[in-house]
Amino acid sequence: MEGTFFCRISCSMILSLAVLIGIASPGVDAARAFFVFGDSLVDSGNNNYLATIARADAPPYGIDYPTHRPTGRFSNGLNIPDIISESIGSEPTLPYLDPELNGERLLIGANFASAGIGILNDTGIQFFNIIRIAQQLQFFQQYQERVASLIGEDQAQRLVSNALVLITLGGNDFVNNYYLVPFSARSRQFSLPDYVVYLISEYRKILARLYELGARRVIVTGTGPLGCVPAERAQRSRNGECAEELQRAARLFNPQLIQIINDLNREIGSDVFVAANALEMSVNFITDPQAYGFVTSKVACCGQGRYNGLGLCTVASNLCPNRDVYAFWDPFHPSERANRIIVQQILTADTRYMYPMNLSTIMALDSRT
């Protein structure tokens, strides 16, 4: 889940101009497909079509979405992929299981993400029927076959290789696996440092498979401030402080993710994979919410119990009147406004947050090729 920027203003303006020029050029960025893989932070509604309890298809979810209706996004409004699409001038990608994803709509891309999943197959087993990452990659292969039948194999391969890809995994492997219950199977099998090493080795295989399937520009997000979400504060803190053990997990995970991204890019000989440090992106509005226009980063807008961090967000929950002043929408997920802060950093931040480059730089470089 989820700063101070060190880029100089003149650099940012040049990059922004380059992106705008690229977006305005027909057949370059305006037609760029976008693919999304991962968990509830980026799921746009695939779980609506599954028999699972990991769903966001009932009010008050979607209260600030343009239709003011729930869509399956774990947000009061737009999620991170929506805002990235908006920022690069594309239509939002539809969930892959949405029956409306057919014909020319396939050329926009697709969202394969499914709430509850993780890097490991045993993560999220309590949610029953979810699209685990191996199945998401199989759907990606199936998608390419569908597009090839529409525009031909060569054009389909070009669409995929020119596409932007976002993948968000890892958080559930801690909160819905290792730390789900005391003495969980994985916590008995591994110490935390060894578990992180294991997760990273499995994530590397997933990223390598994405490359094999044709992805050439992949933004890979690390874990956010796992111990600072309202659910973990409610369950693990005495006075509302962040849960240190979960924060430690995020601090161990993210640097090792950057390392495997470096290794993969070096093996490939190109900057295919880009690391987005979601922990660093969120830390400033978590520790100083007022500086970002939030009244709190401890209390969820929608929920119940301590910090509105217990149970699910439902019509019976406490609901704040102004979602824009809450960093967290529900016990686990950022509000749309917090998502916008994160995406702004994906677009423009320096290498402390985006390594080896930000999205604006990617778009500017790719518009020249």
Positions marked active-site: 40, 330, 333
8 Å CB contact between 130 and 79: no
Sheet holding 164-168, edge to edge: 109-111, 34-38, 164-168, 218-221, 273-276, 354-355
198 Cα distance to chain centroid? 21
Tokens matching residue 305: 């119990």
For strands 318-319 and 354-355, give the pairing.
unpaired
Which residues, in sequence order, are bridge partners of residue 354? 276
Closest to 2 measured CA to CA, from 348, 239, 340: 340
Residue the block writes with tokens 């578990």: 195
Residue 105: count other Cβ atoms within 10 Å of its Cβ.
Answer: 14
Distance CA(153)–CA(201), nearest Å, equals 32
Closest to 108 measured CA to CA, from 130, 131, 84: 84
- Strand blocks (E) in the chain: 34-38, 109-111, 164-168, 218-221, 273-276, 302-303, 318-319, 354-355
271 Cα distance to chain centroid? 20
Residue type, 115: A
The percent of the chain in helix, strand and coil, each rounded to the nearest 5, is 45, 10, 45
Tokens matching residue 325: 């002043």
